[in-house]
Chains A and B, each alone.
Chain A
Amino acid sequence: MRGTLTIAWKDFKSLVNSPLFFFLAGACCAIWSLNFLNLLGDFAQRQMFGAESSIHFTVFLSHLSTVNIILLFAIPALTMKLLAEEKKMRTYDLLLTAPITATDIVMGKFLAGYGAALLLLTISFLYPLATSLVSDFHFGPLLTSYFGLSLLLAIYVSVGLFSSSLTQSVMFSVILGVIFILGLWFMSQGINVSDNPTVQTLMQHISLGEQFSGFIRGSLRVSSVVFFVSTAVLFVFLTQRVVESSRWR
């Protein structure tokens, strides 16, 4: 446990102090600001013409979708170094010969990456939060959406970490990470390949989009939470197996 926290804290600090993090945070800010102002402008115009619409399903939903798309690429870039760099710089030797377990190492790395990812998510939350100063709306669906997004990020981080454990090259790690995450998103496309209703239901259940839509509508489904958490745990577990198995080569 102490090993986990030691690694988590050290890696979190070096992650958020890295030029890469500043670059990512800056890029996120720029894109989200432009996008959000645009959305808000459109919304205000429609309101002026008397159209009745909810700010949540227009402005916030679009914002969330942009946030998700950007983070989908940013998170693997954030996590790329976590294990790949240790292997390349031979600091892996230090971790693997310290009196800690592979689980300590992987959990520490996960927490560091997740912490940094949540910082980026917090930045994106500032936009709707600022809107609340000038407009009245129900916070409920916004909060469940962000809760859902934070679970989604746990998946992105664990998948990114897993990709990082497979290679010494950070470039390859990012590419793998993005491919895996896109794979998870598009897995539900398989829905059409079979007419079998059980297969269709199954595909619906393992689809990120399907599970995520509940959070956006403002409902907290236990099954969705369980699905997200267990997917993240699965990839952390796979990473742990990869780290553990490095001894046997």
Chain B
Amino acid sequence: MIEVQSLSKNYGDRPAVKNISFKVNKGEVVGFLGPNGAGKTTTMKIITGFMAPSQGEVRVAGFDVFENPLEVKSRIGYLPETPPVYGDMSVEDYLFFVARLRKVPGPQVATYVRDAIDKTNLGDVRKRMIQNLSKGFRQRVGLAQALVSKPEVLILDEPTVGLDPRQMAEIRQLIRQLRGHHTIVLSTHILPEVEASCQRVIIINQGQIVAEDSIEGLLRAQSASRRVDLRVKRPTAQLEAELKGLNGVLRVAAEANPGQYQLEIDNRDETVEQIAHRVVGGNMGLLQLHVQAMGLEDLFIHLVTSEHGGAQ
């Protein structure tokens, strides 16, 4: 449905997106995950035809964004970072306007607007001026605006940013209900969002894709290793080096507290046994030895910090 080929974008001579390629299949819900400044918004603006890329091409439903912009735009509903609403219009008038702007056939406009209002639960405020609505409602109006023309593709840029937890849950619930009706790409810099809404995740950092897989796939790849939190009372100077030297220990990081370490190890029991043996045998006063599977959170931090020399 969406094909992005070797896409690059420079602002002046500063690269924001560097040669990224990915595909989104029809009906998929894909999370576009990355820290602030990673290039998510830039990529989305290019897909929607708002902005031209410096290099590369984008196809939506087989149409090139720059050769057939109108074909592409009529298939996309887009919710930008800031909902593009007019404060001096009522919710309903605004949705009528957007529906007409997006070329919904005349006789269907009223039905489409009603459907969008129903899906986003805006019935109670349909006659209210948008400028008098709370941020959560405004975000819902933004979402209603994106889906009012029943587009095949929905591009949602950080749909829950700046909302309180309850509003966040509502929007996520809404997005889950849209599954199956649209191909959805949503961007976020927080992980729970992806876990809550998406089937597949594309992780982007500093303008480059650092991982791309289904959520299960990412977790499975990650299950080859585990995380160990270790705390000892009397650490020796060479403990860190000793732990590193153990067979099956992949990474050791000393934490700010003296005697506290975080380790990444393989998933053999022998490795844990060896660590325990070393600490107890050295009479260092074992206080904590906690072994757990790596979560997406660890993976995300691992990907955006270690592979590309640290994010901001």
Contacts and interface: CB of A to CB of B under 8 A. Distances in A.
Contact of B50 (A91, A93, A101): A93
Given A10-B97, A93-B78, A98 B102 contact: yes
Interface stretch (B85-93, B208-216, B272-280): B85-93
Interface string B147-177: 0000000000000000000000000000000
Contact of B84 (A2, A94, A247): A94
A28 to B, nearest CB: 22
A98 B73 contact: yes
B100 A2 contact: yes
A3 interface: yes
B103 to A, nearest CB: 5
A97 interface: yes
A90 B84 contact: yes
A212 B80 CA distance: 47
Contacts of A10: 89, 97
B101 A93 contact: no
Contacts of A17: 88
B188 interface: no
B101 A98 contact: yes
Interface residues on B, range: 20 to 34
A148 B89 CA distance: 35
A114 B4 CA distance: 42
Given A7-B101, A93-B50, A101 B70 contact: yes
Contacts of A98: 73, 98, 101-102
B77 to A, nearest CB: 9
A7 to B, nearest CB: 7
Interface residues on A, range: 20 to 34
A197 to B, nearest CB: 48
A97 B50 contact: yes
B73 A6 contact: no
A206 interface: no
A14 interface: yes
Interface string B127-154: 0000000000000000001000000000
Interface in B83-129: 84-89, 97-98, 100-103
A96 interface: yes
Contacts of B74: 99
Contact of A91 (B51, B69, B73, B85): B85
Given A94-B145, A97-B50, A99-B70, A6 B88 contact: no
Contacts of B97: 6, 10
A97 B157 CA distance: 14
A97 B76 contact: yes
B82 A90 contact: yes
Contacts of B50: 93, 96-97, 247
A97 B86 contact: no
B49 A96 contact: yes
A19 to B, nearest CB: 10
Contacts of B98: 94, 98
Interface of B: 45, 48-52, 69-71, 73-74, 76, 78, 80-82, 84-89, 97-98, 100-103, 145
**For the complex of A and B, 3 pairs with smallest distance between CB atoms:** A94-B84, A99-B74, A99-B73
